[in-house]
Chains A and B, each alone.
Chain A
Amino acid sequence: MNFDPRYSGRSFTSVGTRPIRPDGVDKVTGRARYGADFNMAGQLVGRVLRSPHAHAKIRKIDTSKAEKLAGVKAVITAADLPDLTDGDAAMYDILDNCMAREKAFYDGHAVAAVAAVDARTARQALKLIEVDYEVLPHVVDVDEAMKHTAPLLNDAIFTEGLDEKPVKPSNVTKRTQFGHGDIQEGFGQADFVVERSFKTEQTHQGYIEPHACVANVSSDGTADLWVCTQGHFVYRQHCAQLLGMEASKLRVTSSEIGGGFGGKTHVWAEPVALALSRKAGRPVKLVMTRDEVFRASGPTSATSIDVRIGARKDGTITAAEATLRYSCGPYAGMWAEIGAMTAFACYKLDNVKTVGYEVLVNRPKTAAYRAPSAPMAAFAVESAVDELAKEIGMDPVDFRIRNAAQEGTRSSYGPVYGPIGIGPTLEAAKNHPHMKAPLGKNQGRGMACGFWFNFGGQTCTDLNIGMDGSVSLAVGTVDVGGSRASLSLVAAEELGIDYGQVKAVVADTSSLGYNDMTDGSRGTFSSSMATISAARNAIKVLRERAAQTWDIPVDDVIWEKGHAIAKGEKYGNLAALSLKEIAAASGKTGGPIAGHSELVADGAGVSFATHICDIEVDPETGSTRVLRYTVVQDAGKAVHPTYVEGQYQGGAAQGIGWALNEEYIYGKDGRLQNPGFLDYRIPVCSDLPMIDTQILEIPNPNHPYGVRGVGETSIVPPLAAIANAVSNAVGVRMTHIPMSPPRILAAIEAEREG
């Protein structure tokens, strides 16, 4: 179909309003069904045995005693998930992460699993599995892991991306580099240079719903999987490949999802549940405990970053350089690469260079977490930018405005920007009343900017018009935060009907074509594009049916406000036909009316935000309080502004937690010390103030309504904004995230003692 995705300025009727979401009532009455809320007749309980060691060779696993326990229906190890990945290294890593093969690489790595008639029997069975481990030296710190003396996780890994091919294996899987210009020359022009090193600790997405699925493999080779996921089509592909099934024989239904933030874009337990079901010949329900979620599902990278920026007296940045080291867990990743791409994306730079190193450590496999890799890079860069502004004697906002990227700027990672929002968000922040509010004793204000690419990807949508004129919208991007409401608004807008006439559902993998998962802030961007396209296709059919009814050429029929209208004076006596009327007659005019769309949503507009926050620090204890927080972000076009605000607020809150208290704490034995919400401290209600939001709308030229993704950018600036605020409050530059009270107090004391 010739769908033109370009932006055209227009006024809206439905888009931009704030109706109640279609899945709302089920969610406030407890009826909505999440991953663990589904059961099948005859279902077994699946449980996973996990390594207690950070790094160990698996010599032997004896499952015989567990198999003999009454009520145990299947026990599996890596032998039951043979390697069918056919040289696909990334898939092999997923397989090995789902079930350890030769080595357990981290505390919590799955080594075996059981399916039994009830939870108690399954737990007992796990205790009867005997694993003979040879414990190996481990390394969890990213800088330690880079040393030549560090224990090697994988001796088949030789660093990629070096000028000379290395002769020795390394924990560094890859070096990447981005930038342009000549930084030596740039630093030569600088009157001021700031050079600083930073560290950030590993965090978890912290979704409240643990991973959960019900797998049912039939003896005819077909299977069903009910699962909480951000991408059921991708889960289908991965599970089918790992289990040697044809994709079409595995139907995956995405349940309501209780938070994902990137963490539910990766399979962990699902292939295991399918393998258990296949072996037991019965449905298997597998739900992770909170402890397992922390120990064995995807955290972010821990990082170590050096930044150097130079500027002239007039405030122009002349050169910028960063070296970023990101932990990947035990398998290769591209986390430092993304960090290196995003680090200086906010700025217009003639000379810039960033280098990323991907580092293997004995921690869980790093997973995406909301704008993955960008918050840490922004923390380092935006902290250094604040320092540099201070050295020059410029206001930090003015300094950033002076150097902000704009339309036509060549970004630090390569592409040339179209219309972008970094300048406008900075101007809005400068003029925000928050910037002028007075501060008290021990209080500091900080601000910072953030960037995220956003993503489009493969998308498929069906729009079916019922004979009563109501519209069913089937989308394939999982709704993680209200997108069914936004997409219903878009369908209503295109068709010219009421929002209440549209009902959006997330279709299963057998009912709709392939969709990429809900990541990269693509849910509303890409599915709204596909919905617009599908609606326009449906309108074409509606016009044809009206033309047929009237017996006039279809080119003479236009669609306006939910009606087919015969254009031109010669049709003056033809009353407009409503969507409802055309639908009612559809059985006689050619059958069901629908619009479909399969497309690759290119041109996701990049996104920028500026955050401002005020922090109070108790100088005697290092305790912090967030007094005020403001988010300014470009949405392109806010389809449902309330849910856009929700994304801004939620990302900010996660960033605040990351900045202040959240971190993975490993003991000397390499075991995770805090695998629970008690000591992995995500913000509670009383930790936060109201989070003010300001939505800017700088249209994305590559979307009919100008929509940009909004979900991720809001987590990028908070680490730096809070670090700048704390640093301003205590008069010491904070360089280690999270800024927990012991770290702040230690920094204050060190400064006091000189």
Chain B
Amino acid sequence: MRYIRPLSIEDAAGLLAGSTGTAAILAGGSDLLVRMKGGFIEPDLIVDIKAIEGLNEIRETSEGFGIGAAVPCAVLGESKALKKAWPGVVEAANLIGSKQVQGRCTIVGNLCNASPAADSVPALVAAGAKAVVVGPGGRRTIAVEAVPTGPGKTSLAKGEIIEAILLDRRPPRAGDAYLRFIPRTEMDIAVVSAGVNLTLDEQGRVKSARLALGAVAATVILVEEAAEVLVGSKLDEATLERLAKVCSGACRPIDDKRGTIEFRRKVAGVLAKRAAIAAYKRAGGK
């Protein structure tokens, strides 16, 4: 087994592309080291990407934000500008694990671990975030929802690394929110979760909406019908009831140690409503 700390993203991609055995990317390590401890993975090569220039930065540009693949989630919470623009994304990132884990974990790692229950992913999907992928074939930008393809599986090819996550600049009257259900108050994996991103028109009606649910299917799902229910409304009682119904109906959950099918269906609707209300308020809706 080798541990290598390359200085450029191209070198990192090259190492991964050229590796013969099991290769793993190390950023925060909060998933990788747990899997190594449990004997679920025995990498022949670990590529630590934290020394690569730029990967530790949150960059604000005229188009929005670029969050480097090695930025710990705790740092997202310390960025006032990011928190103001995308409070839902930041609150989702700051729910992963403990303070200790947040000091290490990254949203790119959370995305690439490809758990349907990943906290930051529904918020990123709702936000319409994009992933910058670097690999042997160069650089490409894809929607974050295109990355996970199933539990533990991604669409990334051998040698490909996500360099950064891109979030758009916010128009006026926009807000996002993320809520998850866990049995305790902290430290759990989401049993169900919902991310909502809204923009309002000048009258306070929903102009555009994206809603994503976590832990209710093999991947995080974008519920297009939910957007249809929300657009044009002011989140009146009837709309929220319809929203809950649509979201519950969109779930394809399983029974497992964290929850039952019935529980996940029901609570997905509840969280969708509550997250929509929170996003609506943040967007300035009354």
Contact = CB atoms under 8 A, between A and B. Distances in A.
Nearest to A683: B184
Interface in B90-115: none
Contacts of B260: 742, 746
A180 interface: no
B263 A673 contact: no
- Between A622, A623, A742, A746, the greatest number of chain B beta carbons within 10 A of the residue's beta carbon is seen for A742
A62 interface: no
A599 interface: no
Contact of B257 (A291, A674, A677, A745): A674
A684 B181 contact: no
A746 B267 contact: no
Contacts of A620: 266-267, 270
B39 interface: yes
Nearest to A126: B39
B185 interface: yes
B185 A746 contact: no
Interface residues of B, number: 21
A746 B259 CA distance: 11
Given A678-B189, A741-B263, A746-B263, A687 B257 contact: no
Interface in A661-679: 661, 665, 673-674, 677-679
B262 A746 contact: yes
Contacts of A219: none
A661 B267 contact: no
Given A291-B38, A741-B181, A745-B266, A684 B187 contact: yes
A474 B110 CA distance: 53
B38 A665 contact: no
A681 B184 contact: yes
A510 interface: no
B183 A684 contact: no
B237 interface: no
A661 B39 contact: no
Nearest to B181: A621
Contact of A678 (B188, B191, B262, B270): B188
A742 B262 CA distance: 8
A66 B245 CA distance: 58
Given A123-B39, A679-B258, A740 B183 contact: yes
B78 interface: no
B236 interface: no
B63 interface: no
Interface in A593-623: 620-623
Interface in B228-280: 256-260, 262-263, 266-267, 270
Nearest to A745: B263
A372 B241 CA distance: 47
A621 B270 contact: yes
Given A620-B270, A621-B267, A742-B263, A673 B184 contact: no
A686 interface: yes
Given A620-B270, A673-B257, A742-B259, A681 B183 contact: yes
A686 B186 contact: yes
Nearest to A620: B270
Interface in A733-754: 740-742, 745-746, 749
A727 to B, nearest CB: 19
Nearest to B192: A621
A219 to B, nearest CB: 35
* Residues of B contacting A: mostly: loop
B262 to A, nearest CB: 7
Given A123-B39, A620-B270, A621-B270, A741 B186 contact: no
A319 B270 CA distance: 46
A623 B181 CA distance: 9
A741 B184 contact: no
- Between B259, B262, B263, B266, the greatest number of chain A beta carbons within 10 A of the residue's beta carbon is seen for B263
A661 B257 contact: no
A640 B276 CA distance: 53
A515 B178 CA distance: 56
A746 B186 CA distance: 23
Contacts of B189: 678-679
A257 to B, nearest CB: 24
Nearest to A290: B37
Nearest to B42: A123
A620 B191 CA distance: 15
Contacts of B191: 741
Contacts of B256: 673
Nearest to B270: A620
Contacts of A741: 181, 183, 191, 259, 263
A679 B189 CA distance: 8
Contacts of B38: 291
A686 B183 contact: no
A736 to B, nearest CB: 13
A660 B260 CA distance: 16
B167 to A, nearest CB: 29
A679 to B, nearest CB: 6
Nearest to B259: A742
A674 B183 CA distance: 14
A679 B191 CA distance: 11
Nearest to A621: B267
A686 B188 CA distance: 12
Interface in B9-57: 38-39
A679 B34 CA distance: 14
Nearest to A622: B263
Nearest to B273: A620
A687 B186 CA distance: 8
Nearest to B267: A621
B190 to A, nearest CB: 12
Contacts of A746: 260, 262-263
A73 B2 CA distance: 27
B254 to A, nearest CB: 13
B34 to A, nearest CB: 9
Nearest to A657: B184
A179 to B, nearest CB: 38
Contacts of A673: 256-257
Interface string B155-183: 00000000000000000000000000101
Contacts of B188: 678, 681
Contacts of B184: 661, 681, 683-684, 686-687
Contacts of A745: 263, 266-267
B128 to A, nearest CB: 28
Contacts of B262: 742, 746, 749
Nearest to A686: B185
A664 to B, nearest CB: 10
B187 A678 contact: yes
Contacts of A679: 189, 257-258
Contacts of B185: 684, 686-687
Contacts of A677: 187
A480 to B, nearest CB: 25
Interface string A70-86: 00000000000000000
A672 B205 CA distance: 50
A623 to B, nearest CB: 7
A441 to B, nearest CB: 17
Nearest to B98: A684
- Between B39, B183, B262, B270, the greatest number of chain A beta carbons within 10 A of the residue's beta carbon is seen for B183
- Between A661, A665, A741, A746, the greatest number of chain B beta carbons within 10 A of the residue's beta carbon is seen for A741
Contacts of A661: 183-184
Contacts of A681: 183-184, 187-188
A14 B266 CA distance: 59
Interface in B184-218: 184-189, 191
Closest 4 CB pairs of A and B: A742-B263, A686-B185, A673-B257, A665-B257
Interface of B: 38-39, 181, 183-189, 191, 256-260, 262-263, 266-267, 270
6 contacts: A621-B181, A665-B257, A678-B188, A681-B184, A683-B184, A687-B184
Given A621-B181, A683-B184, A684-B186, 5 more contacts: A123-B39, A674-B257, A679-B189, A679-B257, A686-B186
